[in-house]
Structure 1
Amino acid sequence: MKAEIITIGDEILNGQIVDTNSAWIAQQLGLVQVSVVQMSSISDREDIILGALKQASERADLVIVTGGLGPTKDDVTRQAISVYFESPIVRNLEVLRHVESIFQQSGLGAMPSMNLNQADVLRDAKILFNDVGTAPGMWLEKKSVYYAFLPGVPFEMKYLIKNRVMPLLIEGDKKEIIYNAHLITVGIGESHLAEKIADLEDSLPSYIKLAYLPRLGLVRLRFTASGVDETKVKEETDRQASLVAERLSEYVVATEDVTFEEVIVRVFSKSKCTLSTAESCTGGAISAAITAIPGASNMFVGGAVVYANRAKLDILDVAPSTLATYGAVSEETVLEMALGAQKKFESDYAIATSGVAGPGGGTDKKPVGMVCVAVVGPLGKEVKTFYFKNDRSINIERTVSAALLMLWKMFKKQ
């Protein structure tokens, strides 16, 4: 099946917001072997919407549209698709009661009259009920092409894709099953990884496809297989994934679809090891990444964000002479920060960061992007200096990734 994704909204076209919906939807469709042939962002105008739907129908079997279903006058998607499908707009009483209940439960008072529009749907549409928001989705078919119209609010769109659209896609193709196996690797780049497993990839059966999904610090490998014999498909896909995992054993941290942070939380919790952080340039990003994972309370003790030198001295007991001699951005200072956190929080391991995230503050000796990271544990310590050359947010993200990788390597050695 081929799909096209259309996002509606002038706020996307003028750069006020970034379209992250399309990328996320494409990832979900890939899990069920639906390939995206085109993505486009269009203005919330009836003539443009009609033109986009017509063009999409000529190249796709499935068209997913997000945005334009709000209550305000600039949301004209309902009217446009009413014309396109030659289906009148009707008010759905079940949806209306749901919208009214949201206003009552949230303490927002009586529902504004404009929100009545959010209970308006096409008569011939299958309603994709929205349990987490006010605007329902709609599912329609025209000339053997399926259409899903969804709200543009990301968390509402994601709920409807997972709980309404995906079941319809799976239900529509019961003959063929889709199965995914996953490997999570860290400490090796995508190209080097591909070189190491080139022969294994070349020998994969034709019904198994390997996708490389890189992000900072890790590469996720996804094996997607399709077929009618469920047992055979699963067994062979798992076998092929195991062969790759064996080849990449020193880099593989998980054989399921999880994040690196989840792996760290699980392994530390199972081993009854604890972690603390002392962050300067990352401003709490490391502790935030860890505590975003359910169960982090089993292994994360606490963290200190120590931007000013005074905080490094008072909270972490960094020696004044260390700061005076080497400066805040130095391996000497960041090591004392890590040791101070380990002692203050009484944790087994501690991570510390200090650097020049940018865009200002750099010097010839300590340029923007210079970051020092220290990790200490029960049996050792390690300090590294990195020279990242990106903008502030990417420098911080790279530092978090580097620090977690250092932590992981130290943990695995001990």
Structure 2
Amino acid sequence: MKATIITIGDEILIGQIIDTNSAFIAKSLDKIGVQTHEFLSISDDKKHILDTFSSLQNKVDLVIITGGLGPTKDDITKHTFCEYFEDVLIENQDVFAHVKEIIEGFFKRPLTQINRDQALVPSKCQVLFNKMGTAPGMWMKKENTVYISLPGVPYEMKYIIENEVIPKIVKEYKRPYIIHKTILTYGQGESLIAERIENWENNLPEFIKLAYLPSPGKVRLRLTARGSEKEILENAIEKNVSSLAKIISDIIVGYDEDETIEVVLGRLLSQQQKTIATAESCTGGKIAQVITSVSGASKYFRGSIVSYATDIKVSVLGVLQDTINNHSVVSAEVGKEMAIGVQQLMKTDYAIATTGNAGPNKGDADALVGTVFIALATPDDIIIEEFNFGQPREKVIDRTVNKALEMLQKEILKNL
């Protein structure tokens, strides 16, 4: 099965909001074997919407639309549906009862005509009940293509996808299986990994595809198998993942989408009952943000000092002014004292410190823009590494965060 996902709204086209709905829908469809053929974003214009519907007719199995449903006058999707399907709007009594309950029961205000109009749907549509809001979803079929219209509000859209759309697709359509396995690697770039696994990649079965998904400091390797026999696909994926692990075990840090390095680190720290703190300058608290993005991080993460100003390094972390005078604020020596300072202050087993020039200006330091020192205090040692991550500023910060977490993971694994 193939699907096209359409977002309707000028606010997306002018960059006022970011389309996150399409990614959620595509991921939900993928899990049940429906392949997303394309994403489209179109304007709030009836002719544009009608032309798009017509261009997709019989070319894909599903067209899923978000946006253009709601209480305001510029929401036109229902009227466009009626024109495309040669239909008329009628009041759905179940939807009306739900709208009335929300407006009068929850919000405690009178029901207006605009509110009541939310219960209007094309007479031929199958209503997709929206428990989280007033605008229902709509399911309509023309020849070989199903058109599904959903509200653009993310939590409303997600509810209808999970509770109405996906169960209905599963019930009504026979679909192939799509099995994914993602291997998370750290510390080597895409081209070097490709060289190392070239023979392995060349020997993959035809029904398994490999994708390289690089980002600063890490590369995800995603294996995708498609076919009609689920057990065969799963066995083939596991067999090839096992053989891959023998080749690049030194850089593999986890598996699947949720196995990010911060998740792996959290599990390792919890298992060993160890704690971590950070003292951040050039990264501005981003390492702490990444670590605490994992649920339950309070078990092992004690806190962070964002010592962006030089005097805070001295007054809070205990960095010696002589060290700064003699070596510059961006130096291995200052990084070391920052790591020791926060380790002692927070009473942790591990501590990460960063000091560097993220750019574009030098600031208080003499070091070149892009220069970063990462210090890692362990229970027994201090490890310091120097890097030059170049430019732009965002790249320097992201690569520093990734490299710091990679250094921490390597040290923790030594104690397993």
- Deviates most, 110-119 or 203-212: 110-119
Partner Cα distance (2:66, 2:37) in 1:
17
RMSD (Å) for aligned C-alpha atoms: 2.9
Where in structure 2 are the equivalents of 1:285-304 lying within 5 Å? 285-304=286-305
Partner Cα distance (2:12, 2:277) in 1:
40
Q: Match of 2:206?
A: 206
Q: Match of 1:3?
A: 3
Q: Match of 1:376?
A: 377
Q: Compute the TM-score of the two structures, normalised by the length of structure 2.
A: 0.88
* Per-residue deviation, 1:346: 1.0
Q: 1:161-212: CA deviations, max 9, x gaps?
A: 4444333344344464333333222222223223322222222223333333
Contact kept, 8 Å, 2:370 with 2:390, in 1: the verdict is: yes
Distance change in 2, residues 1:11/1:324 (3 Å): same
* Per-residue deviation, 1:77: 1.5
* Per-residue deviation, 1:250: 1.1
Match of 1:372, SS state, is strand
* Per-residue deviation, 1:43: 1.0
Contact kept, 8 Å, 1:318 with 1:337, in 2: the verdict is: yes
Q: Match of 1:308?
A: 309
- Deviates most, 325-334 or 243-252: 325-334
Contact kept, 8 Å, 2:332 with 2:385, in 1: the verdict is: yes
Q: Match of 1:124?
A: 124
Distance change in 2, residues 1:175/1:55 (3 Å): closer
| Equivalenced residues, count | 414
- Deviates most, 357-366 or 229-238: 357-366
Partner Cα distance (1:407, 1:111) in 2:
58
Contact kept, 8 Å, 2:352 with 2:404, in 1: the verdict is: yes
Distance change in 2, residues 1:72/1:341 (3 Å): same
* Per-residue deviation, 1:25: 3.8
Q: Match of 1:237?
A: 237
Contact kept, 8 Å, 1:31 with 1:224, in 2: the verdict is: no
**Letter aligned with residue 293 of structure 1:** V
Where in structure 2 are the equivalents of 1:17-96 lying within 5 Å? 17-96=17-96
Partner Cα distance (1:104, 1:315) in 2:
55
Q: Compute the TM-score of the two structures, normalised by the length of structure 1.
A: 0.88
Contact kept, 8 Å, 1:33 with 1:178, in 2: the verdict is: yes
Distance change in 2, residues 1:232/1:290 (3 Å): same
**Letter aligned with residue 242 of structure 1:** S
* Per-residue deviation, 1:353: 1.8
Partner Cα distance (2:172, 2:159) in 1:
20
Contact kept, 8 Å, 2:181 with 2:223, in 1: the verdict is: yes
Contact kept, 8 Å, 2:136 with 2:151, in 1: the verdict is: yes
Partner Cα distance (1:356, 1:105) in 2:
57
- Deviates most, 307-316 or 389-398: 389-398
Distance change in 2, residues 1:120/1:383 (3 Å): farther
* Per-residue deviation, 1:156: 3.8
Contact kept, 8 Å, 2:58 with 2:143, in 1: the verdict is: no
Q: Match of 1:334?
A: 335
Partner Cα distance (1:277, 1:107) in 2:
45
**Letter aligned with residue 263 of structure 1:** V
* Per-residue deviation, 1:363: 8.4
* Per-residue deviation, 1:347: 0.8
Q: 1:210-229: CA deviations, max 9, x gaps?
A: 33333333222332323343
**Letter aligned with residue 388 of structure 2:** Y
Q: Match of 1:168?
A: 168
Partner Cα distance (1:21, 1:390) in 2:
32
**Letter aligned with residue 410 of structure 2:** K
* Per-residue deviation, 1:246: 2.2
Partner Cα distance (1:394, 1:89) in 2:
52
